[in-house]
């Protein structure tokens, strides 16, 4: 089976390939196939993931998967939310920390949510969700992954480390995207 991941984000592609590595599925990215990114003008994570997956499936005629992820910070009234990749054009981790400089330790709750959409060549659609609660750190910690800036400042509940301090395998075991992709994987194993 060929599965086209509607992403131009190498960090996301690496996570997807790792989670599906032992299945008989070839995962390619929309970027590798030269597809441009569609405009994400949905009002929800689900709408945006469906926009991307539908676009790729229609263009290539293959199974397509897309995800949309948001980080929702309580002290910032849920910002950046579904706009996290477009919230600030620059160092997003630093910008987030600057916005929260006066927020005390006990009030830095946040959660990451991923919605993954799978679209078949025939146009059938499935949705898979993953969510993880945590807090925003006081400073950026760890090694930055490509296009995953919030990993530097997000500490999952039950952890003392940011996502950026974890190995890819550790992060994938507990992350929002890992949860959604494992649900996707369980579905793909059955078809």
Distance CA 29, CA 33 (A): 7
- Both tokens of 21, joined, read 């590595």
Give me the catalytic one of 24, 41, 68, 102. 68
Hey, is 20 helix, strand or coil? coil
Per the annotation, the verdict on 89 as an active-site residue is no
Distance CA 51, CA 75 (A): 30
Tally of CB atoms within 10 A around 113:
21
Alpha carbon 118 to chain centroid distance? 14
Alpha helices in the chain, H assignment, sequence order:
10-19, 45-60, 92-99, 168-174, 176-190
CB 92 within 8 A of CB 164: no
Tally of CB atoms within 10 A around 98:
10
Hey, is 174 helix, strand or coil? helix
Tally of CB atoms within 10 A around 21:
9
Distance CA 27, CA 16 (A): 8
For the annotated catalytic residues, the residue numbers are: 68
């Amino acid at each position: 089976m060929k599965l086209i991941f509607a992403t131009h984000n190498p960090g996301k592609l690496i996570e997807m390939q790792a989670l599906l590595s032992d299945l008989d599925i070839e995962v390619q990215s929309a970027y590798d196939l030269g597809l441009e990114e569609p405009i994400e003008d949905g009002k929800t994570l689900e709408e945006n993931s469906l926009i991307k997956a539908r676009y790729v499936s229609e263009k290539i005629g293959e199974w397509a998967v897309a995800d949309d992820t948001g980080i929702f910070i309580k002290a910032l009234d849920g910002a950046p939310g579904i706009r996290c990749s477009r919230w600030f054009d620059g160092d997003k981790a630093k910008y987030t920390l600057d916005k929260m400089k006066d927020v005390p330790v006990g009030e830095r709750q946040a959660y990451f949510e991923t919605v993954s959409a799978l679209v078949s060549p025939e146009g059938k659609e499935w949705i898979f969700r993953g969510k993880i609660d945590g807090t925003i750190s006081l400073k950026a910690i760890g090694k930055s992954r490509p296009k995953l800036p919030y990993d530097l400042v997000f500490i999952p509940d039950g952890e003392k480390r940011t996502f950026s301090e974890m190995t890819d395998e550790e992060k994938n075991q507990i992350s929002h995207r890992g949860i959604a992709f494992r649900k996707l994987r369980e579905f793909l194993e059955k078809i």
